[in-house]
Amino acid sequence: MGKTIVEKILSEHSGTDAYAGDIIIAEIDAALVQDGTGPLAVQQLQKLGMVEAAKPDRTVLFIDHAAPSPRKELSNAHKVLREFAAKTGAIISDINEGVCHQRIVEDFMNPGEVLIGADSHTCTAGALGAFATGMGSTDVAIGIASGKTWLRVPETFKVHVTGKFKKGVYAKDLMLHFIGMIGADGATYKALEFSGPAIDAMDMSGRFTLANMAVEAGAKAGLFASDEITKEFLESRGRGDKWRPLSADEDANYEKVFEIDVSDLEPTVSCPHTVDNIKVIKEVEGTKIDQVYIGTCTNGRIEDLRVATKILEGRERHPDTRLLVCPASKEVYLKAIEEGLIAKLISAGAAIINPGCGACVGVHAGILGDGEVCLATQNRNFKGRMGNPEAFIYLSSPAVAAASAIEGVIADPRKYL
């Protein structure tokens, strides 16, 4: 019987002929923790007396959630990670390097590999044709020390995407639409496999956005075939030699198949307080917004900043609406400076925040006030997410976010494009 992408990768990594439902012990190629989950992972390794990394050059500790540190408790947590890296030879990605999921695809992950990460959006790297999944600190700690993890091979939902995106509609709108369609628990324990002509034509940035939000449908992973676009991306990152073709077999077994024609999609917005609370733009246009946040592992890449700048260039944010822009990594930031995007965004009234996760995860640098409303390009809008349970979060593409910053209310970006 043919195999899905996840069955192929997990067969290779367990030395078994693995199919959905099998329990396997898999070799892992890389592991990540961040400053919210890493200190607990280090503590667990100390309890086990295993303060070591099986693959130090592919164990990456990210200081991104509270970077730079806003409090002494977090400064001390950062010290724990730096000391662990110094002791084991693991890699530290310190303040300003960027958000773990952006950094891990920029410099570490390749098709056919397995990544476990103590962060739920670890699934982002699935866009490269890898199996990447989020776990807790103890699971990842044991993975770091032993180079292995146990997994139940997930069943796969195929998401077959056809058609052409209309102007002003992006991968983010597709993913919000899909999550609205199947629900926040619609793919619990499953792998999503994205394919079809619209995916074949999609750039890596869009694929990262889709894979990043697989967990928002409850999925364990979001996978893509490794194709020519993957190859070009790896070549641009100096890892062309790590490319390999990888796709599902024709006769692979899918638990469900979803067909989506993107030609029908409109700019789409997720409303408070669950990601699957989806509306099309005309249903929410005019909603007053206190803060717009453009950035994160979902939509903080150079392509996202280009779209936002195109809309904001020569215009100004609404006087009652704050605009925060946070490039997802140092490289994205530098590129945005080089291309002149940052100057244009600042002129439009944006506050530029150094790369990190702080506002999205509610730690610092963009906490909302009571009753305030934020429109953000991130992946989550749970109650309390941005640091205040009395606030309201809407999610959208960078285009909708930029247009809304100008008008001070949720706005359709198409008139600016």
Can residue 64 be called a binding residue for another protein (CB under 8 A)?
no
Binding to another protein, residues 286-345 (CB under 8 A): none
Q: What are the backbone angles phi and psi of residue 359, rounded to the nearest 5°?
A: -70, -40
Task: Please identify which residue in the block is written with the tokens 């195929």.
Answer: 158
Contact between residue 106 and residue 205 where contact means Cβ atoms under 8 Å apart: no
Can residue 44 be called a binding residue for another protein (CB under 8 A)?
yes
CB of 46 to another protein, least distance (A): 11
Residue closer to another protein, measured from CB, 63 or 234: 63
Q: What are the backbone angles phi and psi of residue 374, rounded to the nearest 5°?
A: -120, 140
Residues in Cβ contact with 10 at an 8 Å cutoff, skipping those fewer than 6 apart:
18, 24, 26, 114, 131, 151, 153
Among 135, 289, 297, 400, binds another protein (CB under 8 A): 135
CB of 33 to another protein, least distance (A): 10
| Cα 400 from Cα 416, distance rounded (Å) | 10
CA atoms within 13 A on the CB side of 3: 19
Query: Per-residue x/- mask for another protein, residues 205 to 224, rule CB under 8 A?
Result: ----------x--x-x----
| Cα 152 from Cα 394, distance rounded (Å) | 34
Binding to another protein, residues 74-93 (CB under 8 A): 74, 76-77, 80
| Cα 238 from Cα 260, distance rounded (Å) | 34
Task: Please identify which residue in the block is written with the tokens 């959208």.
Answer: 396
Contact stretch for another protein (CB under 8 A) within 147-155, 205-213, 281-289, 302-310? 147-155
Residue closer to another protein, measured from CB, 74 or 265: 74
Can residue 259 be called a binding residue for another protein (CB under 8 A)?
no
The side-by-side arrangement of strands in the sheet containing 278-280 is 278-280, 268-270, 392-395, 373-376, 291-295, 322-326, 350-352
Can residue 256 be called a binding residue for another protein (CB under 8 A)?
no
| Cα 340 from Cα 349, distance rounded (Å) | 15
Can residue 37 be called a binding residue for another protein (CB under 8 A)?
yes
Residue closer to another protein, measured from CB, 6 or 77: 77
| Cα 251 from Cα 93, distance rounded (Å) | 41
Contact stretch for another protein (CB under 8 A) within 10-18, 31-39, 255-263, 306-314? 31-39
**Tokens, residue 41:** 């992972």
Instruction: Tell me which residues touch another protein (CB under 8 A).
Output: 23, 25, 36-37, 39-40, 44, 47-48, 65-66, 71, 73-74, 76-77, 80, 117-120, 122, 134-139, 142, 146, 148, 150, 152, 184-185, 188-189, 215, 218, 220, 274, 361-363, 367, 380, 382-389
